[in-house]
Structure 1
């Protein structure tokens, strides 16, 4: 038991960003104290998600070896942040003149590797005190007879300090050297320290791109989306209130007729299916699991946006992803509570099976893709190590599963009682034929257009920040757009469900979920447009990587919006049937 407790503590600590004794975490230095220069990854400039270990190329490290390779957090490990010590001897406020730190003799294989990297515009990333720097491996020049491949052998570091803290870092790659087989490449570095007036709290501003994230454009897009919300809410309220008022009047008038007159009369509409509207949907285990997962994802997304808005999580490597992992594990009771309650209301008996399915649904979907297999085959740094995968499994088994079990038990016992305002008929009512555009699949497809339109501008900014290494920092706008999307999704699914019920089709549960969830289809279609017209990505690895991650993101958002649509529609359906007198 003690061993299990220690394992749980270790798993949670790896999932959370934490502090340790290294100076780069306290960000406080004394004069002449060692400053660690970390090397991250190397890869093609136009395929920025395709990264490899820095020393997969024939580079060399400096003479110092007293600090080893490590990962801070689970978020860094999942992002493929491969921090390795450069071996460069750098100390606080001590400048270093141009100095050789290592050399490499080029044979044919090393020459071929460097030429390939230069031809594909490889670049690499380094860190000093959590501040990133970038440099190019080399460049191609026109020679007298053929192309000449030039490598940059000198790194010049300009470091600014304010008091005892580092506030600026810049790296310039120099020392152009023509590559030739058999030559000795001498790598050198230089360090210049300078006093700076930049405040420590503002040191990350240089990485932000305010010209791209123009607030005027964001406010304009949010204004348009907000006007769409007002229009939709007003339209839904006006149409449904007027239409439902007429329906109530007609049904009340029909209730005063005798049975013969009622049979001769014109009976149609949503009241006619009151005995079937609360019939459990097909595949109740899958349905309740999706609703539980969507509820959990909504809480996680809202928590991540709020934490980023208040805590500026984008300034630390992997912190946002680590926060998302922690929130997903901590909010597992939400999944169990909602999924267990809905499964119980639907009359489900195999609640343990439903709980296990709901627990494994999203993690299996995330881990079941071929992205990691492709990354391993390419020896990319994005490939997850065995330790990382075991840690994810431990989090799922020893944290998420027990919390989900607790939530399921609470959900079944607190909110698991059926509260349908109408009894369910023993024999299902036949569904009449109708126009093709009133079929559930057509309604579901149309339901995602307006929610996608409400977030279209923000999707472009998010895509660009993720795939083109622009740091997304305007989380206030993201929060507003997220809330607007929720309201639009609820309004649209309510209208779609009313049309479906009015055509005497009682299959509204899956239709309402798919109406909201179909936003994922439009986002994925937009991902195709973005890939071919907004990026310069190429190759099998990057293509699979891009579309694999876009499928994951689109599906997660679809589950979230489908859940919100179903919950809003469920309240609407119960409300209209509870106010109608049913004989």
Structure 2
């Protein structure tokens, strides 16, 4: 693995120097490949995965048949972070050449090997394989009576167990025979074909033989001229000392599916109608609420401005109450102004990364066929968006008349990624302790640190330098030297209550979509409806902006001018509801029982919630910042 780590680190650095975005969006094997009859086909093996543990393992962690030399396929950064480990296997075919039962190898199980197999069967691990960039799938019966529709499960189970009558024990059986089906779409003119489907029927077969000849093995239950019939032989039991013969057969089948559509079956969801209905319903509700809020705000605000501008005498001005009275304090720098600048800068960085990633996803560059592309793109875009983080942070810091811009820049460059990296490092240590392939290798970890210190940090400093060089933003009104006393606030206008109530609406905007995103991440399903995701993101931005503006207006009307942090927290606190929902999802939808797996789930969801806090908080802050400057520049101040 050490050589693989060095390769990952070196290739990543070369990619960053020569073509940064290529590393995120290009994956060898995505382009169509034409095969002729008799061409060699090599099945590659990927990780063992389980939704019950969320801990991936290398295929050869279990005692499966090994080729003479195990070769690792080149993987991008996203694949390594996802725990993918793609290697060659003993399963080889000839294009368009059906094969009967072939013998892979014979394995005699040691006590440790049998224990590992039983553990993985208990934890419902699935084997993932790849042929021409298509993952192997098992056909399952649909819930509804749809004769012509296939539904796939990704990968096949390591095995199964059955209870022993009259006891609490189980017998364990391994799926040692794989019946592959390869679908191809043929070009009648060139006589070449493209692979458009890769299915498998896993079977447990207790093969029969008298004497084993390693050079020319003969097994009575495995005939090279025919396939193994399901149910014809009893299952292969797993136990120490058992000899297991691994076999496979393959059938090639022509298909009308074209290469461009070959992923459609993989992306089908059994509840896609509910998915679409829920998203549309959610969008309509949020759009309706947002429109109502915007209409009320505009009518009330125009009335306020008209009334303030009609005041003619000093006595009338003194008797007037509302948001105009705090004009001398509304732009007073907040407590912990530097920290606010850091979080706003980080939020701009995250917002830029999210927008560009979604654009590339909409264009099809980050489809599920491009394994690891989404993760790679997000990491690289985060690094390059450091320029905007430094600029936004410095502009705000200079407006607050801060004098230590270098210190502020360092905080911007290190605070958010430092916290995330620390949590990630602890989680990675736990994964490493479980000997899982999900543990990020040292070479990749070094590459991540190099991206952070070598590219992101310098870009933050460049952006900060450019932002601090520009003239400071001038306030529409002058700030008084002596701060005005804030009157006693009603219970419903106190910070904690208004922040928690206000953040419900932004969470409601993503609530439905969040379920499908969590399902794709934790239940090993593909997420592909990026168009709807983009619409939901736009609705989220609008909702964050509007609810923050409304509550900020009410706050100023009650003569409380401490709006800076309140604006950030009103939208940002929706992350609290996101984390609480993830806890609800954990206990109601997942079957995780291992302590380490539970810690990993909540650790990663904590990182996601923190990022959501920074993103939504920044959107709310800038909306409120624009609103406050706009209304105070619209009234006459004597």
Q: TM-score, normalised by structure 1?
A: 0.91
Q: Does the 8 Å contact 1:24/1:130 carry over to 2?
A: yes
Alpha-carbon distance in structure 2 between the residues aligned to 1:269 and 1:155: 75
Which SS does the other structure have where 1:100 is aligned? strand
- Asked if 1:139 is matched to 2:160, the reply is yes
- Asked if 1:162 is matched to 2:185, the reply is yes
Alpha-carbon distance in structure 2 between the residues aligned to 1:45 and 1:552: 20
Of 369, 376, 379, which residue of structure 2 is paired with 1:322?
A: 376
User: Cα deviations across residues 453-485 of structure 1 (Å, max 9, x unaligned)?
Assistant: 222211122222222222121111111111111
In the alignment, structure 2 segments of 5+ residues that lack a partner are 1-8, 137-154, 187-192, 206-234
Alpha-carbon distance in structure 2 between the residues aligned to 1:472 and 1:24: 18
Structure 1 or 2: larger helix share? 1
Q: Which residue of 2 aligns with 1:434?
A: 489
Q: Which residue of 1 aligns with 2:454?
A: 398
User: Cα deviations across residues 474-531 of structure 1 (Å, max 9, x unaligned)?
Assistant: 1111111111111111111111111222222221110000001011011111111111
Q: Which residue of 2 aligns with 1:290?
A: 343
Alpha-carbon distance in structure 1 between the residues aligned to 2:339 and 2:631: 27
Of 252, 257, 272, which residue of structure 2 is paired with 1:213?
A: 272
Q: Which residue of 1 aligns with 2:442?
A: 386
- Asked if 1:374 is matched to 2:397, the reply is no
Q: Which residue of 1 aligns with 2:252?
A: 193
Q: Which residue of 1 aligns with 2:101?
A: 98
- Asked if 1:235 is matched to 2:296, the reply is yes
Q: Does the 8 Å contact 1:213/1:461 carry over to 2?
A: no
Bigger mean CA deviation after superposition, 334-343 or 306-315: 306-315
Shift of 1:270: 2.1
Of 564, 569, 593, which residue of structure 2 is paired with 1:509?
A: 564
Of 311, 314, 327, which residue of structure 2 is paired with 1:257?
A: 314
Alignment CA distance shift 1:19-1:230 (3 Å): closer
Q: Which residue of 2 aligns with 1:173?
A: 202
Alpha-carbon distance in structure 2 between the residues aligned to 1:453 and 1:188: 51
- Asked if 1:354 is matched to 2:408, the reply is yes
Of 123, 127, 131, which residue of structure 2 is paired with 1:128?
A: 131
Q: Does the 8 Å contact 1:421/1:574 carry over to 2?
A: yes
Alpha-carbon distance in structure 2 between the residues aligned to 1:220 and 1:19: 36
Bigger mean CA deviation after superposition, 520-529 or 142-151: 142-151
In the alignment, structure 1 segments of 5+ residues that lack a partner are none
Shift of 1:313: 2.1
Of 517, 521, 529, which residue of structure 1 is paired with 2:576?
A: 521
Q: Does the 8 Å contact 1:448/1:519 carry over to 2?
A: yes
Shift of 1:17: 4.1
Bigger mean CA deviation after superposition, 283-292 or 232-241: 232-241
1:474-485 residue pairs with structure 2 within 5 A? Answer: 474-485=529-540
RMSD of aligned Cα (Å)? 2.4
- Asked if 1:39 is matched to 2:45, the reply is yes
Alignment CA distance shift 1:290-1:23 (3 Å): closer
Shift of 1:72: 2.0
Alpha-carbon distance in structure 1 between the residues aligned to 2:24 and 2:11: 18
Shift of 1:25: 5.6
Shift of 1:30: 4.2
Q: Does the 8 Å contact 1:71/1:82 carry over to 2?
A: no
User: Cα deviations across residues 329-382 of structure 1 (Å, max 9, x unaligned)?
Assistant: 232221121111111111112111211211223322321113212111212222
Which SS does the other structure have where 1:40 is aligned? strand
Q: Does the 8 Å contact 2:111/2:239 carry over to 1?
A: no
Alpha-carbon distance in structure 2 between the residues aligned to 1:106 and 1:7: 40
Alignment CA distance shift 1:162-1:371 (3 Å): same
Q: Which residue of 2 aligns with 1:422?
A: 477
Q: TM-score, normalised by structure 2?
A: 0.84
Alignment CA distance shift 1:529-1:123 (3 Å): same
Shift of 1:23: 6.0
Shift of 1:45: 4.3
- Asked if 1:336 is matched to 2:390, the reply is yes
